[in-house]
Amino acid sequence: MITRRLLEAPDGRGWVFLTIVLGAAVLVPILHLVVPASSPFHISTSVMALWGKYLCYALLALSLDLVWGYCGILSLGHGAFFALGGYAMGMYLMRQIGTRGVYAHPILPDFMVFLNYKELPWFWYGFDWFAFALAMVFLVPGALAFVFGWFAFRSRVTGVYLSIITQALTYALMLGFFRNNFGFGGNNGLTDFKDILGFNIQSPQTRAVLFSLSAIALALGYLIARAVVQSKAGKVLIAIRDAESRTRFIGYRVENYKTFVFTLSACMAGLAGALYVPQVGIINPSEFTPANSIEMVIWVAVGGRGTLVGAALGAVLVNYAKSTFTTGLLAPYWLFALGALFVFVTIFLPKGIMGLLPQRAARSGADGAPATGRAAQPAE
């Protein structure tokens, strides 16, 4: 039943997207592992790691699009959920190092020995166990989003006010995680990972599996998000986005819908973070910086908000541009380009790249990109 729901959800574009993502999940590991390095079709470790990272970003952008594109909640704190998921995974990976650290302490990770911890803080218990860590990847960001959303949406904090306090949220977390006595490694974060579930994290096979998992997670995330926005609840979400007060007056409990979609989105962001950390090999508090979270918003805006596929596309495009830009001669000009992108997209491309594609006439009114401009503002 649920499977059927999920499989019915994608539209034509969605199937193209799913085919590409799942095709990559199968093909890229084969091209990396089986095809010899001399062949022009061989994919090197670095390229695969880079694209694995993009896939995580795409999942993150997807989660942000779910709240921003379909419910009008502009979260400037999604980096916090991403980083929390990443930290949960990082803690598991830290525990897997065991006695192979520099100090070879039987219980404590290196940074705790270094910072004079006497015993393991209570919140590190359980992270030896993968299933527990995996649960935390969803639970911690989800719980934070639920509590935050519960308070914020109930007291009807909306629009830019909400954006600013989500930004303050990630800022506060950043300050906290930068502290050494917070128990998460201070500004060095967690790194030096050795293995995951017994497999060496550096080996090509593990990396290939992680890449496939990221692609599969992205596909699943897309299917779930798509199923949500196609459902009846999804219609209510769009109604909330376009006219919150009216929806409330019709009799819907707006705050419940918002809290639900915000929490779901945070869980997806947490998963993206958890897949990101083993692939890049480090998680540190800079992931919490407010600037990071705003950058995520531009990925969605570039691809086209309220399109899901567009968000993923935007994340990959912007990050690909960033990698190319920041490694070459043009590095000092990357921020100019990024800044110009912000301005250009908001003024000239309010529907993003997806808005440039020919519109499907029949359904665009219901679930297409939100209409923009003064005329579209509800007269409340």
Binding interface with another protein (CB under 8 A)? 74, 151-152, 154-157, 159-161, 163-165, 167-169, 171-172, 175-176, 178-179, 245, 290-291, 294, 297-298, 301, 332-333, 335-336, 338-343, 345-347, 350, 372-374, 377, 380
Q: Which of 9, 12, 48 is nearest to 29 (CA)?
A: 48
CB of 377 to another protein, least distance (A): 6
Nearer to another protein, 49 or 164 (CB): 164
Nearer to another protein, 74 or 108 (CB): 74
CB of 167 to another protein, least distance (A): 6
Q: Which of 249, 319, 306, 247 is nearest to 73 (CA)?
A: 306
Query: To 10 degrees, what angle do helices 78-97 and 254-280 make?
Result: 40
The tally of CA atoms less than 13 A away on the side-chain side of residue 59 is 33
Nearer to another protein, 12 or 373 (CB): 373
Query: To 10 degrees, what angle do helices 12-33 and 45-71 make?
Result: 160
CB of 237 to another protein, least distance (A): 16
Nearer to another protein, 23 or 328 (CB): 328
The tally of CA atoms less than 13 A away on the side-chain side of residue 98 is 7
Contacts of residue 305, Cβ cutoff 8 Å, sequence gap at least 6: 65, 68, 69, 311, 351, 352, 369, 370
32/111 Cα distance (integer angstroms) = 34
CB of 36 to another protein, least distance (A): 43
CB of 265 to another protein, least distance (A): 16
Residue pair 311/304 in contact (Cβ under 8 Å)? The answer is yes
Nearer to another protein, 28 or 71 (CB): 71
Nearer to another protein, 27 or 165 (CB): 165
70/64 Cα distance (integer angstroms) = 10
CB of 71 to another protein, least distance (A): 12
